Amino acid sequence: MRQHFYSRFITLGGLNLSERIFMTSSIQSIRIQKEPGARLVDDFVVVEEPLEIRVEGKALAVTMRTPGHDKELAAGFLFTEGCVDGADDFHAIAHVKDPRTEGENIVDIRLAAGTRVDPDRLASAERNFYASSSCGLCGKSSIERVMQHAEPVRPVDVLDADLLAALPQKMRAAQEAFESTGGLHAAALFGLDGSLEVLREDVGRHNAVDKVLGWRFLQDRVPVDDRILVVSGRAGFELVQKAVMAGIPAMAAVGAPSSLAVQLAVQSKMQLVGFLKGTHFNRYGIQ
């Protein structure tokens, strides 16, 4: 796997920072034995590495992710967890060298003056660095906690069936790494006219969503109340939660939604579509 380094300057909040970027492919070539026939061939797998998200040098969360667009991932995580409201809450964001590995698997965020991130405000305990894997909220209490941080989304007209049917193919056509590995989730933002704005891939479906929403956040274009979020897998509660926190009015999933995801979408006035495959799909929350 080829690795490249280069330096550049970024500016946030008026601060210029020299940033040394570690560029690595999201896929890795490995030698495998292919059956039948016991043939030795080269194949590709998705790269998966931990990313530690820090705020003012203090570890807040760790997630297993596919390297690339890490600053978007960190920004999107804080945004969709209800910790920050806009790009002006950030003073700077940069990779930090990890002495334990050859890569740069830490992103540190410096906050603007007067901004504070409280870990207790995290809308989801699943990836909270300070919570054990057995922690978490469920059912009605989960929805109530999300709604403490997010208003119902701004409704849009019911999405046209033909427009929805075309979205998965457009998304798949833009998935470069998936074609080589078959092992990446994707999330994409589409305009209400069906035009693709941005797509990100990651081994984790929640990371892919954080990356696309972080992309919008760092451009100071939030809430994301003028886009459709499309995901390549199922629509679990955590993904719908992130969409609600971002103000997204419509979400479509290639896979199935969960009962809690449907409840949250209905309460938030979000249009939710599942099993989106060609002209066949389900609309949820219809009375």
Distance CA(217)–CA(60), nearest Å, equals: 19
The CA-based dihedral angle spanning residues 214, 218, 223, 225, taken in that order and rounded to the nearest 10 degrees: -70
Residue 214 Cα distances to 4, 222, 226, angstroms: 24, 10, 15
Distance CA(95)–CA(138), nearest Å, equals: 34
Q: β-strand 250-253 against 271-277: which pairing, if any?
A: parallel
The helix (run of H) or strand (run of E) holding residue 154 is none
203: Cβ contacts below 8 Å, ≥ 6 apart: 46, 47, 48, 64, 65, 66, 183, 184, 185
Quick one: CA dihedral 142, 143, 147, 148, positive or negative?
negative
Distance CA(231)–CA(217), nearest Å, equals: 19
Which of 23, 32, 135, 173 does the annotation list as catalytic? 135
Residue 152 Cα distances to 138, 246, 266, angstroms: 20, 10, 9
Closest CA to 146 of 136, 155, 154, 156: 136
Locate tokens 């690595």: which residue? Answer: 24
Distance CA(233)–CA(203), nearest Å, equals: 11
Quick one: CA dihedral 76, 82, 88, 89, positive or negative?
negative
Q: With H, G, I as helix, E, B as strand and everything else as coil, classify residue 240.
A: helix
Distance CA(153)–CA(205), nearest Å, equals: 22
Residue 135 annotated among the catalytic residues of the structure = yes
Residue positions annotated with a catalytic role: 135
